[in-house]
Amino acid sequence: MKWPEDHEHQDLRSGVRQVCSNFPGAYWRGLEPDTYPTEFITAITQAGFLGALIPEQYGGGGATLTEASVILEEISASGGNPAACHAQMYVMGTVLRHGSAEQKQQYLPEIAAGRLRLQAFGVTEPGAGSETTRIQTRAEQIPEGWRINGQKIWTSRALYSDLMLLLARTTPYEECEKPTEGLSTFLIDMRKVEGITIKPIKTMINHSTTEVFFDNVVIPADALIGEAGKGFRYILDGMNAERILIAAECIGDGRYLLEKAVGYANERIIFDRQIGSNQGVQFPLAKAYAQLRAADLVRFDAAAKYDAGKSCASEANMAKLLASEASWAAANAAMDTHGGFGFAVEYDIERKFRETRLYQVAPINNNLVLAYLGQHVLGLPKSY
């Protein structure tokens, strides 16, 4: 399968693929259903890729979001699962843009060196879902700092992370003029506090996801990122970065699935000819390829705007929408191409099929992306 050469990032792509070559499909299959990829994370950190977005002055790679997206794309395209990498990358944007100089100096060198992990993002709650402004987790200011009570869900890798970026209400919803006010962001060192309970959630994919309970958790005053009450605006930066990075993962998944499917379609002989000569096999693969190429262009457009400090919400949302749909099209085409063998674990099609299905609904449901575009881009009435 031909994929356009990316001369600008060729060395970066080669470096990532070299690390990933030591972690073939058998490695990822061996982690099922819920084992954390410790060896892979260690290798990708030591190679400098997990700390890519951390500025060089703190020991990181000083990469752009565009370059970070290429890293995640190549991990996916190699057959790996970059879920344990992407959270640290998009959470980093909130810390870099809004964290204090002291917070950066304290944590970033340790994260870059791999001595600390920042892979947990505590936002979603059972009673709020996508309506983030309705979260109930409360942070109350006390002489010692802040006292936190509440619950988060779908907080992936909380069991394997030292630090958590947490969104909590510091002013009740009813007392705010706007729903987005009264929310604050905290960087919590989970090693140094008591009252946090983490419970794993078994899922169809290996994302090490959990629900987290906060019972009178006391954190120091300097755990607050930026100003109290401004946290929703701070995490929007992280959410735009998240959507761009997830889009890149989806594109990598699609590339992997198409490469496997095209190879199989060229090799498999039925009725004395390659099954790839049948239009029923060939056309879905060709269409998925076209979808992936289009999504890829939007991904790079969104990332370029983010790196330039420009508004990129619509582009980031469109990139995630288009890439998730394209990767899902590639997954279905690959499954159909392989037939019964697509369900065999050793072919890795069913694993990638499961992994890429997630992105239809997370980190934001595609229907909410459409609602955003309808209201904020097309100027239509609010639909929810």
Residue type, 51: G
pLDDT of amino acid 31? 97
Q: Tell me the two tokens of residue 183.
A: 């929310």
pLDDT of amino acid 384? 83
Crossing angle for the helix pair 231-267 and 65-77, to the nearest 10 degrees: 40
pLDDT of amino acid 234? 92
- Which domains are seen in the chain, by residue range? 7-116 (1.10.540.10), 120-230 (2.40.110.10), 233-377 (1.20.140.10)
Residue 192 φ then ψ, to 5° = -115, 10
pLDDT of amino acid 236? 84
Q: Are strands 224-225 and 183-189 parallel, antiparallel or unpaired?
A: antiparallel
pLDDT of amino acid 1? 82
Name residues whose C-beta falls within 8 Å of residue 8's C-beta, 6 or more positions apart in sequence.
none
- pLDDT, tens only, 347-363: 999 999 999 999 999 99
Tell me which residues of the chain have a pLDDT lower than 70: none
Q: Number of C-alpha atoms within 13 angstroms, CB side, residue 127?
A: 6
Crossing angle for the helix pair 65-77 and 279-307, to the nearest 10 degrees: 150
Residue 183's DSSP bridge partners are 169, 230
pTM assigned to the model: 0.96
- pLDDT, tens only, 45-66: 999 999 999 999 999 999 999 9
- pLDDT, tens only, 163-199: 999 999 999 999 999 999 999 999 999 999 999 999 9
Instruction: Please count the helices (runs of H) and the strands (runs of E) in the chain.
Output: 11, 10
Contact 235, 94 (CB under 8 A): yes
> What is the rounded distance in angstroms from the CA atom of residue 35 to the CA atom of residue 337?
30
pLDDT of amino acid 130? 86
